[in-house]
Structure 1
Amino acid sequence: MVHVPRRHRAAVVLAAGAVLLTGCSSAHESEVERVASTFEDPSGDPEQRCDLLAPATLAAFERSESAPCTEAVQDLPLEGGSVESVEIWGRNAQVKLAGDTVFLTETGAGWRITSAACTPQAEAPYDCEVDGP
């Protein structure tokens, strides 16, 4: 058994935790990428794309568009493109694509879109066409 001095135990525990969190993020990265890319595909099935929205985001989107999601999603200015980066923080994620930025959350049903068709606003938060409450 290796003896670790008391003052170093916290550092060892923190380092081990960081490795575990990185591993979890890596395991989720492909799923987060898949969900974002599927939603961003303008030729994709509208029903499938709407199923990828978080429930509160779906309700807010339909309310703001005054139309069912399957109709409104076809009019979104989605530029998508190839994935440039994926960042995951616990149960939340951001996917930057060549032409858009998408935000996601992990739900009991898997990763779901909380915001899409997002444009950065200098120092302000992103401006998103699809945005949950």
Structure 2
Amino acid sequence: MLRSRLSLAGLAMLSLALFLTAQSTASSPDPTPAVGTPRTPLTELARMALVAPDIVRIPIVKEHPSSAPPDAARFSHWSHNQIGCYGCHNTIFPKRKMGFTHADMEQGLFCGSCHNGRLAWSPNDKRVTCETCHVGKSAEIDTDDLFE
């Protein structure tokens, strides 16, 4: 049920983006964009609605310390939509199945490239709990579903 609502919301966003894009190009004397024209936030949002699942479960790494939360972390594309797809892919996150550790994040890798206490909250911030990211099986989509 949730997925069907998300799909309907994605379709509505795509329709709006296509309508607004058509309106803006119809009033332009040359609707062909120049090579290298950056994507607008609206077209990025439409692209995200089509290809990115809202919630992705990040796999647990094999070297899972006993002190680490037992549940997988989840990532919400929707809460990061202001960044756009290419803000993370293929730079910070390659498009392949992978897990990572808090030590990786503390070195500025993966989520830690933004979640460092300067750009966004840090996992070490006292206001952040483990459950902010580690929700385990309640995550909607496993990364296995994305990369097979």
Above 0.5 in TM-score? no
Higher strand residue share: 1
Q: TM-score, normalised by structure 2?
A: 0.28
